Every structure is written in structure tokens, then in C-alpha cells.
Structure 1
Amino acid sequence: MLGKLKDISLSNWILIGMILGLLTGIILNFFVPDSFFKNIILVDNIFYLGGSLFIKLMRMLVVPLVFCSIVVGAASISDIRKIGSIGGRTIGIYLITTALAVTLALAIGMLIKPGAGLNMVAAAQSSNVTLNQTMTDTVLNMVPDNPLNALSNGDMIPVIIFGLLIGIILAKLKEETQIVSDFFSQGNRIMMEMTSIVMKFAPIGIFCLMARTFAGLGFEGLLPLGKYIICVLIGLAIQAFVVYPALLVIFTRLNPLKFFKKFFSVMFFAFSSSTSNATIPLNLEKLSELGVSKDVSSFTIPLGATINMDGTAIMQGVAVMFAAQAYGMDLGVTALLTVIFTAVMASIGTAGVPSVGLITLTMVFNSVGLPVQAIGIIFGIDHILDMFRTAVNVTGDAICTLIVSFKNKSLDVDVFNGNKKMDPANTVLLDDLDII
């Protein structure tokens, strides 16, 4: 029996915690009369302590994890200057599609209003981006007066800017700063391991958050949660089947239907595995069959699996609107622009650990002063949505690779259109992936 319990994955334990917390909260709300034990001991102490402790552990991780990831990521990304236009175009397209993704998500959230009706009490937390703040102030506040203060206060955009600058300089100086580079690389590894440890407590934390929330909300809280799922799925569908095909047609004039016909198996594998990294070999093989030069794809696909997180950006954009509406907070234009910028930067700084999207979502919430407690409501269902997000992520990697390959005259259009077979010499082997 214990052996079978050990075989259950963390994602499934989180889902179990969410369901049990939901049922517990509803039972306490509708079938258990108010009492000292229910209201004070259970809801206001045990559930509050368990949920709040988990949230505090996550917030503890945010600044050091993101800072180290940004520094290490920027240091490695800047190496692409050696391959000139391929690197520049790849990074540019990846960032543009991520910005489009989070903008789309915010628009869908404003239209459908998934968090309306929850009427949750706003946490005692002031917004970092006030409604009357000018764009000039926002730009100036991106640069920290004191980096240590930005790190200690959790001001994420200054932290990101400072981390990017350090990473770029480390890449430029190379061997001269090898000790410092190793320090941040090892720090990044430590923070990823710490994240894995903290996430082991996620099922208990999610159970407590869900139980305490629905002990007061009941069934009326289910409708906003369903609307949140619908919003994310709509955003992912539009990104995958409208935005990506439109970009492919605009930049290459290729037929998107031919792409999806050949690429569907990769999307299905990504959906079932929920990991972009595991999909890299299959993605590379399929792109070779589509006529993409391995010299391009062996660089762009591993890079995209690291920094191109359009599906995650859509989830974060919808989550922001969900939380803002649930807590009755009206985000202004400056705050929304901050969300877009932070989500794009978070995609670059995403570490390759399970459920790290939750950590970067905390960072996005902090950037505009949203209560992170709202994450507990949506995180339990995140594994289900993560399968769809991963499929969108790898599709975006492939579309961007096709565009970059076409612009650099490294795409055999006849192979793409099925007019001739792929050159066997263009087959990508794992040994070719020296970038990984």
C-alpha cells in the first residue's frame, strides 16, 4: 500500500490535495454548524497556518531563484552573438510571441472576468504600481537606486534589470569572471533544489488554502474557477491556431495546415509528457522532416524550451486578471504594462524544475501588488492546464524556428510542401545538441 502511494507523482498529489481541500471546505460550509472548533481551531488556525506557511515559503524563493536564473540565463543567451542574425532573430521572435501571449490573456480576462463574484477580502498589501503612476515613473523605477534594497524589498522589475546587466557583463568578460559565474550557476542550482523541496509541501498547503477558502465561499466559488479554466484554454487555442499561423503566413507565406498536419504528433507528445525538454528530440526530428536546417533547429529549439514560454505567459495573464477581480483591485494601464514586461522577463528566467510556473507567477503578482493567496485557488488545477500549455510552448518553438530558418535561407520549402524528401544528412542527432 505504501509503495503504491510513493508511486503517485507530485502533480497528482497536488490535484488530490486540491480536491480534498475543496470537498472539506464545502462540507464545513454547508453541513457543519458554526462552532469554536470549526471557525477558530480549523479555519482560522490550522488551515490558515498551513496555507500561509506554504505561501511564505514560495515567496521566500522568488527573489533569489529569479535573480540567479536571470543572471545565468542572460550569461548563456548572450553567447548567441557568435551566430549573429540567427540568435538575434530567434530571441526577438520568442520575446514578441510571449508579449503577444500575455497581452491576449489580459484581454480575455478583462472580457470574461473569471474572478468576478468571488468577493475575496483583499490582503493588506499595497500595490507596487499605483494607478496614477506615470509611464516616466515606471521606466525610472525599473532601474534600482540600490540593488540590495530592490532585492530585500522584492521589487521584481529592478531585480530583473540588475540580473540581466550582471549576466550580460559576465558573458562579456568570460574567463576573467569565471569564479563569479560559477557562484551564480551554483546558486541557481541550489535554488532549484530548494524549490523542489518546498514543492513537496504543496499538497498540504493547497489543501489548507482550498479548505479555508471554500469553507466561506462554497459552491459559488466553483463558477469563477471554471471560468478561469475556460479563459486559459481560449487563450491557448487562439495563440496556437490563430497567432502562430498568422505569423507563419506573414513572415514565410507557408501553409499552416501543412505544418499542423505534420506536427500534430509532437503536440500530442508534449501534451502527454507536460515537459518541453523531453519533447526536444522529437521536435528536432519533425522540423528536419519539414525542411529546417539542423544548424538552425539545434540552436533554436533547445533555446526555445528554455525561454519561450507562451503558454505559461497566457496562464499568468489570466491569473492576474482572476486575482485582481476576485480581490476587487482595479489595475491601471501602467500596471498591465508591468505585467506584460514581468511575464516576458519571467519566461527568460524560468528555471527547469517542476511547477516553477507557480514561482514566476508569484513574481508577476508581486510586481503589481496582487495578493499571492489567490494562487492557492488556481494552483490545484494547474497540472491539467500545464499539459495544454506545454503543447502550445513547443508549437511556438517550432513556428519561430521555421520563421528564423526561412529568413536565414536555411529552410527547404520544397521539403516543407512535400514536393521532395528530406535530405538524410539533415537529420538531427542528440550528439549535435552541443548547446544543451
Structure 2
Amino acid sequence: MSHRSVSVSSNTPSSAPGESAAPTAPAASTGPKRRTGLSRVPFWAQILLGLVLGALLGWVARSGDVAWLSTALDRIGGTFVQLLKLAVGPLVFFAITVSITNLRNVSGAARLAGRTLLWFMATSLIAVGIGLTIGLLTNPGAGTGLSPNDGARPEQAGSWLDFLTGIIPTDVITPFTELNVLQIVFMAAVAGIAALRIGERAAPLLSFSEAALALLQKALWWVIRLAPLGTLGLIGRAIDQYGWNLIGQYATFTADVYIGSLLVMFGVYPLLLALAARVSPLQFFRGAWPAIQLGFVSRSSVGTMPVTQKAIERLGVPREYASFAAPFGATTKMDGCAAVYPALAAIFVAEIFGVSLGIGDYVLIAFVSVIGSAATAGLTGATVMTTLTLSTLGLPLEGVGLLLAIDPVLDMIRTATNVAGQAAVPVVVAARERILDLDAFRSARSFDIADADADAGTGTGAASAGGTGGAEGRRGGEPAPATA
């Protein structure tokens, strides 16, 4: 038990054991900050307001051919996405590096990481099965009026050779300038493992990495608070550019993606939580909803990562494990973008181009979805994963051009599904490893992002406040057994 206590206290800001509670005292005495004006409106309501206003302004811009309004919506939405992407490279690098080194404080860290990956793969396999089933039942490419001539070959295409050889960067700068997240993850993993191997000599580097990560997370929280305005611009731009007629052309395909994603989010994950983790799915969604909601709006798993991690910790997952699972999931766990969607996209493109798919092709789709999901890398859009799937099946890459037109509308539900899975799997793993704090899980509630950024990067939160922090979780009211 003493080892566990040291593991928790090593992550607190104070160096003196007797002063460990000091940093939290001011927050307790001052209470919540007083809100004024728009900040009084709950964040979810601000998002909804942005959604409605964006749809209305997009319709006005398109129907009235209002050029200045179209430009304004494009600038607002584009600026929000650009701000999210600005922090992606360094955020992923420092998050992965710090999360790997934090695993040294977790008993059975290798087993936790391995089981997390196995659950990621298992749920991806289920998700791609749902996508294939829906596609085979509905024939999304039939009756659209689209033809191969409507497609255009994408500027960038993924292949297995590119995927395998592209993991290793040629230099340390280009992955950040070109935002190659997969290469950034590779470098961060190497740095984290190397830091663990050299021990105390890496302490200055780890201190810098933790400080840089806290700074980036704090800055990203400020960007996240702009999500209502970003929603207005992104939705407005989508409706202005594409209109409702385009959605009508892709009605079956759009419905399939949404139905498949919703089945995974509200069918597969609740079953796993109830049967494998033996916890309440409803309670899970209460705690994870802010992250799922932001994923829907931002269309970026990496941009949502700080909110996802906070939600996971509030649900009782130990901080040390959550700090690994959140960035790991944000870059590899893509049930929406890399499982449901590629399966449906392959069937859609095959029907448009008159190509028959057999059992072997469906097995290949499942293989690509489970193994190649890291190529999606948590950014907006799933073009790389789609081209990887189509090229593996020998389908024309011009089919990607058919899908890009409707992509922003589909990407919202895909990313929300991604984020839900990135939060659900750590809860399942923590529960099965008996390190989930059930008291924290049962008391978790949806949090307002306007308040949650107050302690971003400071090391405070539900997990540490509850004293569990990866050291002493409870399942069924009993202490977790010590593991090697």
C-alpha cells in the first residue's frame, strides 16, 4: 500500500508530503467563478445555438447569394479548425511522451497498454462488421444518379507501402510542418521509451515535456471555448457550399453512416460497459458527453483530447492510465472514421463503378479497418483511410472525389463515435483491471467546458482529488489487489 501512496504523491505539485493538500485549498475557499453575460449559458446550449444560427445563415447565404456572408462563414469555420490544428503536432508529441513515462507509476503498465490495444481492435472489428452489414442491406450507391465521371482522383492517396514506410520520418522537422501525426506518434513513442530506459538523467527533459504539455492544453482549452462560434461557421459553410440537394443525392449513404455510427455509440459501447465492465452506460454518457459533443462539432479527435482525458478521469479512471489512454486513443482509436465509414464507402464506390465485391473483399475491409486505423491520425476527415481501403480492394480512387462533397456532414458523427470509443475503452479496461474508482464513476456528471479549463494542465481533477490517481481503485467496494 505504501508504494501506491508514493505513486500518487509523486504527481502532485508540492514536494513536501505534509503540504500535498495546499494547492487545492484556495480553490475550495474561493468557490466557482462568477459568470456574466453569455458565459451563464451552458456550453451545450451555446453549441446548439451556434448550430441553429449556422444553419440559418448558411441557408441565407446560399439562397440569397450573399457573397460577404459566405466569405465570413468560411473564415470563421476555417479559423477555428486552423487554431485546433495549430497545436496538434506538439500536443501529440508531448502527450504521447509524457503518457508513456507516466506508465512507470502504474502497476502492470505493459499489460494495461496491451489490453487497451486489444479492446481497441476488438471494438473496431465489431464496428466494421456493422458498417458492412448496413451497406449490404441498403445498397447506398444505388439510385443516386451519380456516375464515375462525377468523381475525381484525390491529390493524396494512402497505400500500404506509404503506411509502412511512412511511419519513420526522414527528419524531425517535416512531420510537424506537414502535420504527419503518425510520424509524430512514432518519434514521441521512441522518446518516451528512451526516457524510461535512461532513468533519472531524463528528468529535466520530462519536466520540460510536462510543462510544455500543460501550456499547450491550457491554450487548447481557450480554443475549445470558441467551439460555439466555430460551429456556426462550419455548419453555415457546409450548407452554403453544398446545400440540401447534395445531401438528397447522398441520402442513403448519409443515413447509413449516421445509423452505423449511432449503433456503435449507443449499442456496442453500452453493451461493453454493461457486460464487460459491469457499470452503468447511462452514467458513462453523463460523464463523457462533453467530449462526445465537442468531437461532433470540432471534427478532430486530437483537438478534443484534453476534454476526453478530463472526462475519463472524472469517470474514475486513474490519472496515470488516463494520460496514456487518451492520447493513444486520439491517434489510433477511430471506429467512426476507420471502421464504419470505410466499409460503407467501399460498398458505395463499388456500386457506383459497377464492381462486384466478394467475401474476400469484405475480409480485406475488416483487416484494413483494424490494422490501418492509425493512418487516420485523429485529424478532420478520413481521406487517407478511405484511399487505403479502396487501393487495397483495387477500386478506383476517383471514388474518393464522390465522397469528399458530403464529407463535412459525415465527419461530425464519425468523430463523435471516435471520441465515445476513446472514452469507453479505458473505462472497460480499468474496470476489468480493478483500478476503476467506482465512487468517482457513480458521481460523475457532465461538466461545463467553460469551467473545466480552469484547472487544465495543473494536475488537479477528479481522479487525483479522489485519491485514486492510478494507485488504488475500487471495484465492488473492495481494494484492488496488488499486481506485479
Q: TM-score, normalising length from structure 1?
A: 0.59
Residue 236 of structure 1 and its aligned partner are, at CA, apart by 0.5
Letter in 2 for 1:409: R
Partners of 1:252 and 1:410 lie apart in 2 by: 11
Partners of 1:240 and 1:370 lie apart in 2 by: 29
Letter in 1 for 2:409: I
In structure 2, what is the equivalent of residue 278 of structure 1? 303
In structure 2, what is the equivalent of residue 5 of structure 1? 71
Residue 418 of structure 1 and its aligned partner are, at CA, apart by 3.0
In structure 1, what is the equivalent of residue 20 of structure 2? none
In structure 1, what is the equivalent of residue 25 of structure 2? none
Residue 155 of structure 1 and its aligned partner are, at CA, apart by 9.6
Partners of 1:156 and 1:426 lie apart in 2 by: 47
Residue 12 of structure 1 and its aligned partner are, at CA, apart by 7.1
Letter in 2 for 1:339: I
Q: Does residue 280 of structure 2 align to residue 255 of structure 1? A: yes
Residue 324 of structure 1 and its aligned partner are, at CA, apart by 1.0
C-alpha spacing 1:163/1:94, structure 2 compared with 1 (3 Å): farther
Letter in 2 for 1:255: S
In structure 2, what is the equivalent of residue 99 of structure 1? 125
Q: Is the 8 A contact 2:309 2:322 kept in 1?
A: yes
Q: Is the 8 A contact 1:288 1:427 kept in 2?
A: no
Residue 99 of structure 1 and its aligned partner are, at CA, apart by 1.9
Q: Is the 8 A contact 1:269 1:279 kept in 2?
A: yes
> Which stretches in structure 2 are left out of the alignment for 5+ residues?
1-66, 80-92, 150-156, 181-240, 446-461, 470-484
Match of 1:116 among 142, 147, 151: 142
In structure 2, what is the equivalent of residue 323 of structure 1? 349
Partners of 2:362 and 2:463 lie apart in 1 by: 45
Deviations 1:245-284 (A, max 9, x none): 1111221111111111232222212212222122222222
Aligned runs of 1:19-98 on 2, under 5 Å?
83-98=109-124
Residue 237 of structure 1 and its aligned partner are, at CA, apart by 0.6
C-alpha spacing 1:159/1:333, structure 2 compared with 1 (3 Å): farther
Q: Is the 8 A contact 2:311 2:423 kept in 1?
A: no
Secondary structure of the corresponding residue to residue 360 of structure 1? helix
Residue 315 of structure 1 and its aligned partner are, at CA, apart by 1.3
Residue 338 of structure 1 and its aligned partner are, at CA, apart by 1.0
Q: Is the 8 A contact 1:157 1:342 kept in 2?
A: no
Residue 109 of structure 1 and its aligned partner are, at CA, apart by 0.5
Q: Does residue 453 of structure 2 align to residue 415 of structure 1? A: no
Letter in 2 for 1:254: V
In structure 2, what is the equivalent of residue 240 of structure 1? 265
Partners of 2:116 and 2:380 lie apart in 1 by: 25
Match of 1:362 among 378, 387, 390: 387
Residue 367 of structure 1 and its aligned partner are, at CA, apart by 0.6
Q: Does residue 384 of structure 2 align to residue 343 of structure 1? A: no
C-alpha spacing 1:9/1:99, structure 2 compared with 1 (3 Å): farther
In structure 2, what is the equivalent of residue 183 of structure 1? 170
Q: Does residue 272 of structure 2 align to residue 231 of structure 1? A: no
Residue 423 of structure 1 and its aligned partner are, at CA, apart by 5.3
C-alpha spacing 1:189/1:419, structure 2 compared with 1 (3 Å): closer
Q: Does residue 465 of structure 2 align to residue 424 of structure 1? A: yes
Q: Is the 8 A contact 2:332 2:377 kept in 1?
A: no
Deviations 1:118-141 (A, max 9, x none): 576669xxxxxxxxxxxxxxxxxx
Residue 9 of structure 1 and its aligned partner are, at CA, apart by 4.9
In structure 1, what is the equivalent of residue 232 of structure 2? none
C-alpha spacing 1:225/1:183, structure 2 compared with 1 (3 Å): same
Partners of 2:271 and 2:310 lie apart in 1 by: 24
Q: Is the 8 A contact 1:155 1:367 kept in 2?
A: no
C-alpha spacing 1:419/1:277, structure 2 compared with 1 (3 Å): closer
Secondary structure of the corresponding residue to residue 436 of structure 2? coil
Q: TM-score, normalising length from structure 2?
A: 0.54
Secondary structure of the corresponding residue to residue 117 of structure 1? coil
Q: Give me the CA root mean square deviation.
A: 3.8
Identity %: 27
Q: Is the 8 A contact 2:316 2:437 kept in 1?
A: yes
Partners of 1:285 and 1:222 lie apart in 2 by: 35
Residue 404 of structure 1 and its aligned partner are, at CA, apart by 1.3
Match of 2:326 among 289, 301, 309: 301
Partners of 1:230 and 1:377 lie apart in 2 by: 16
C-alpha spacing 1:350/1:285, structure 2 compared with 1 (3 Å): same
C-alpha spacing 1:281/1:183, structure 2 compared with 1 (3 Å): same
C-alpha spacing 1:378/1:426, structure 2 compared with 1 (3 Å): farther
Letter in 2 for 1:322: F
Letter in 2 for 1:414: D
Letter in 1 for 2:394: G
Q: Is the 8 A contact 1:292 1:410 kept in 2?
A: yes
Residue 6 of structure 1 and its aligned partner are, at CA, apart by 7.4
Secondary structure of the corresponding residue to residue 331 of structure 1? coil
Partners of 1:223 and 1:410 lie apart in 2 by: 48
Secondary structure of the corresponding residue to residue 417 of structure 1? helix
In structure 2, what is the equivalent of residue 134 of structure 1? none
Partners of 2:254 and 2:420 lie apart in 1 by: 20
Secondary structure of the corresponding residue to residue 372 of structure 1? coil
In structure 2, what is the equivalent of residue 396 of structure 1? 421
Partners of 1:380 and 1:340 lie apart in 2 by: 25
How many pairs align? 298
